[in-house]
């Protein structure tokens, strides 16, 4: 991780039960010239998982070079070989199409299970469920009268954006006066927080995991047409031809990485609201959860 050298790593783990076994494993802390080029989708919760993966790679002696791009561009970099792996790919719904394009060029391998993401349209829980329980309820005259009509999304390459654009047409929302616009993660989050601040009715296209869920109660709207896709697997997606740099044991360590929606939402909150960098959030979390890191590293002996 940028700006975090070996001496700082040892200092960060001082005082934990994990330090002694790590120091005993020279193969983990050994210097290595092997560079891993890790693509990270340029949204904060992806930064969080990317930082965790980076920390694990560095503990196995790899140097890590991270690059940041939005969804589709990241997969194109994987396809042409500019990067070796992506943290994290959402398979099969959100990023499945991009993965297929990569595999037209090169085989891939899924490693680990970072969390179980899914897209949603959500409303603040102060909106009565009796009034708004489903996307179809947005068409009720009494709901339309109160609902903020602008629906603020994120970038055009995101799965939630693709799903939402189809929902606007298939549910007749555009014809009913609603509008959908793409933007940044900050604009999407800000739209929800502004609704809460003013206690206004509105709907925001979101996803799990995301730091808003760590702070707010957000109710998922039912999607009778099933346009929001399934629950995905968030994985480390690697080019198979780049795994030659890894031993079978090291690949097993990467495959052992298991997080959760709640863990990533916590890390994302630390980044967005506690002022931590992604690396700081990851190191602090790993320091508080040494048993989880130890379980991932167990194949190294």
Selected residue with higher pLDDT from 179 and 25: 179
Band the pLDDT of 12: cuts 50, 70, 90.
very low
Q: pLDDT tens digit string along 180-216?
A: 999 998 999 999 999 999 999 999 999 999 999 998 9
pLDDT score of 25 more than 50: no
pLDDT of residue 26 exceeding 70, the answer is no
6-10, 78-82, 120-124, 175-179: the lowest-pLDDT one = 6-10
Short-list 203, 181, 180, 154, CA closest to 45: 154
Q: Where are the beta strands (DSSP E) in 186-279?
A: 204-208, 218-220, 233-239
Has residue 295 got a pLDDT over 50?
Answer: yes
Cβ proximity of 67 and 77 under 8 Å: yes
Q: Could you tell me the pTM of the whole model? A: 0.78
Give the residue range(s) of CATH 3.40.190.100 domains in the chain.
118-220
CB of 59 closer than 8 Å to CB of 70? no
What is the pLDDT at residue 66? 98
% the chain with pLDDT above 70: 89
Enumerate the CATH 3.40.190.10 domain ranges in the chain, comma separated: 6-117+232-300
Q: Is the pLDDT of residue 90 over 90?
A: yes
Mean pLDDT of 11-32: 42
Q: Which residues lie closer than 8 Å to 172 by C-beta, 6 or more apart?
A: 139
Average pLDDT, the chain: 90
Q: Which helix (H) or strand (E) holds 179?
A: strand 179-181
Average pLDDT rounded to a whole number, residues 110-114: 98
Q: Go through the chain and tell me how many residues it has.
A: 301
Residue 23 has pLDDT above 80, yes or no: no
Q: Flag whether pLDDT at 28 surpasses 60.
A: no
Examine the pLDDT at 270 and tell me if it is beyond 80: yes
Q: Give the burial class of 41: count Cβ atoms within 10 A of its Cβ; 0-12 exposed, 13-18 middle, 19 or more buried.
A: buried
pLDDT, mean of residues 253-260: 98
Please list, in sequence order, all residues whose beta carbon lies within 8 angstroms of the beta carbon of residue 108, skipping any fewer than 6 positions away.
78, 99, 102, 237, 238, 239, 240
Q: What per-residue confidence (pLDDT) applies to 11? A: 41
Output the pLDDT for position 157.
81
Question: How far out from the chain centre does Cα 285 lie?
Answer: 16
Residue 13's pLDDT band, with cuts at 50, 70 and 90, is: very low
Q: Residues 28-44: what's their mean pLDDT?
A: 78
SS (H, E, C) the chain: CCCCCHHHHHHHHCCCCCHHHHHHCHHHHCCCCCEEEEEEECCHHHHHHHHHHHHHHHHCCCEEEEEEECHHHHHHHHHHCCCCEEEEEEECCCCHHHHHHHHCCCCEEEEEEEECCEEEEEEECCCCCCCCCEHHHHHCHHHHHHECCEEECCCCCCHHHHHHHHHHHHCCCCCCCCEEECCCHHHHHHHHHHHHHHCCECCEEEEECCCHHHHCCEEECECCCCCCCCCCEEEEEEEHHHHHHCCHHHHHHHHHCECCHHHHHHHHHHHHCCCCCHHHHHHHHHHHCHHHHHHHHHHHC
Give 33's pLDDT tier (boundaries 50, 70, 90).
low
Query: Looking at residue 32, what is its pLDDT?
Result: 41
Is 225 in a helix, a strand, or coil?
coil
Domain at 6-117+232-300: CATH architecture: 3-Layer(aba) Sandwich (3.40)
HSE of 18, CA atoms in CB hemisphere, 13 A: 21
Residues ≥6 apart with Cβ < 8 Å to 218? 120, 122, 123, 124, 125, 192, 206, 212
Q: Which of the two residues, 28 and 160, has the higher pLDDT score?
A: 160
Instruction: Retrieve residue 170's tokens.
Output: 């298939």
Which token pair is 209? 């995991």
pLDDT of residue 135 exceeding 80, the answer is yes
Q: Summarize pLDDT for 210-245 with one digit per residue, the tens.
A: 999 998 999 999 999 999 988 999 999 999 999 999
CATH class of 118-220: alpha beta
């Amino acid at each position: 991780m940028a700006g975090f050298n070996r001496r700082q790593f040892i200092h960060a783990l001082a005082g934990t039960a994990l330090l002694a076994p790590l120091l005993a494993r020279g193969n983990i802390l050994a210097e290595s010239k092997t560079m891993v080029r890790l693509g990270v989708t340029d949204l904060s919760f992806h930064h969080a998982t990317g930082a965790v993966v980076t920390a694990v790679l560095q503990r196995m002696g790899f140097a890590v070079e991270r690059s940041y791009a939005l969804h589709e561009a990241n997969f194109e970099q994987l396809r042409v070989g500019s990067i070796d792996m992506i943290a994290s790919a959402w398979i099969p719904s959100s990023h499945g199409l991009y993965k297929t394009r990569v595999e037209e060029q090169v085989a891939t391998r899924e490693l680990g299970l970072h969390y179980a993401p899914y897209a949603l349209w959500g409303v603040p829980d102060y909106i009565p469920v009796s009034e708004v329980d489903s996307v179809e309820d947005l068409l009720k005259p009494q709901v339309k009268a109160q609902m903020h009509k602008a629906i603020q999304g994120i970038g055009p390459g995101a799965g939630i954006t693709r799903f939402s654009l189809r929902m606007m047409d298939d549910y007749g929302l555009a014809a009913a006066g609603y509008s959908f616009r793409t933007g940044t993660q900050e604009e999407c989050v800000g739209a929800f927080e502004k609704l809460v601040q003013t206690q206004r009715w509105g709907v925001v296209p979101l996803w799990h995991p995301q730091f808003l869920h760590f702070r707010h109660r957000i109710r998922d709207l039912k999607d009778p047409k099933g346009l929001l896709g399934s629950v995905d697997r968030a994985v480390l997606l690697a080019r198979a031809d780049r795994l030659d740099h890894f031993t079978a044991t090291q690949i097993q360590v990467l495959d052992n990485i298991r997080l959760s929606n709640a863990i990533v939402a916590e890390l994302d909150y630390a980044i967005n609201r506690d002022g931590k960098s992604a690396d700081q959030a990851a190191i602090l979390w790993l320091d508080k959860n040494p048993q989880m890191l130890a379980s991932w590293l167990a194949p190294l002996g």
